[in-house]
Chains A and B, each alone.
Chain A
Amino acid sequence: MCSVGGPMDVEYKERVKGKDYKCKDCGEKFKGVGKHPMCPSCQSENVAEE
């Protein structure tokens, strides 16, 4: 039986693991996931992992 919304919940091992990035153009720091991280402030792809 489906338990959505009920007290049961399945724990999944694969969690969102964001990496820490810093935008080289505007200096914004953020935690990102995805193939091509983009700065959330200026949309630049010129970012580096910290």
Chain B
Amino acid sequence: MKYSPGDGVLLVQGRSSFLLAAPARERFTLFLEDCQGEIVQSVEPDDLVVVSAPEGGPLEPALLLLRLVRDHHVPLIVLPRGHPGSRRLRHVVSVAPRVLLACGIQRGTHPEQQLICSSDELAGTILHGRDGGVELEHVPPDIDIEILRG
């Protein structure tokens, strides 16, 4: 399934969790900061900026986070394994051409951008950024998908 959100954002909504995805739209450098140092990721226009909310909640903070990364290029902070802050995170971010949703990982601790923490109901879904749109694979049943405009 391919979606073209244009300037909008794709919402993948489960019963108790959700995910936002949008193409980066421009080339930029994104900083990944972890305990070992800094990695400079070159982001392409078709790459996806994905925000996962494994526990659901209001959309607005997730939209703000997506815009902070996509439009203002704020650095991504990676926590070390076992860090107590991992439990506090309600939203996590990935920026990559292809993103796999996985529920068996600790939030905020994986620097691999092709992987993002999700709820079990969305786990296994794969997102591809292609031709300015978002292509979805392996979407579980009973998941609603819509484009948020504006």
A5 touches B29 (CB 8 A): no
Within the complex, the shortest CB–CB distance from A49 to chain B, in Å, comes to 13
Across-interface contacts of B113 in A (CB, < 8 A): 16
Q: Which of B1-9, B104-112, B140-148 contacts A (4 or more CB under 8 A)?
A: B104-112
Say yes or no: is B103 at the interface (Cβ < 8 Å to chain A). Answer: yes
| Interface residues of chain B: helix, strand, loop or mixed (majority) | loop
Give chain A interface residues in 20-34, CB to chain B under 8 Å: 30-34
Across-interface contacts of B87 in A (CB, < 8 A): 5
> Which size bracket describes the interface of A in this complex?
20 to 34
Distance in angstroms between the alpha carbons of A15 and B86 in the assembled complex:
19
B40 touches A37 (CB 8 A): yes
Say yes or no: is B114 at the interface (Cβ < 8 Å to chain A). Answer: yes
B40 touches A10 (CB 8 A): no
Contact A40-B105, Cβ < 8 Å, known A31-B39, A32-B40, A33-B40: no
Neighbour of A4 across the interface among B32, B39, B119, CB < 8 A: B119
Count of chain B residues near A, Cβ 8 A: 35
Neighbour of B107 across the interface among A5, A16, A35, CB < 8 A: A5
Q: Which of B41-49, B63-71, B127-135 contacts A (4 or more CB under 8 A)?
A: B41-49
- CB closest residue in chain A, given B86: A5
Say yes or no: is B54 at the interface (Cβ < 8 Å to chain A). Answer: yes
B81 touches A9 (CB 8 A): yes
B38 touches A30 (CB 8 A): yes
- CB closest residue in chain B, given A31: B39
Which 7 pairs from chain A and chain B are nearest by CB?
A: A34-B42, A2-B120, A2-B103, A10-B104, A18-B39, A9-B106, A32-B40
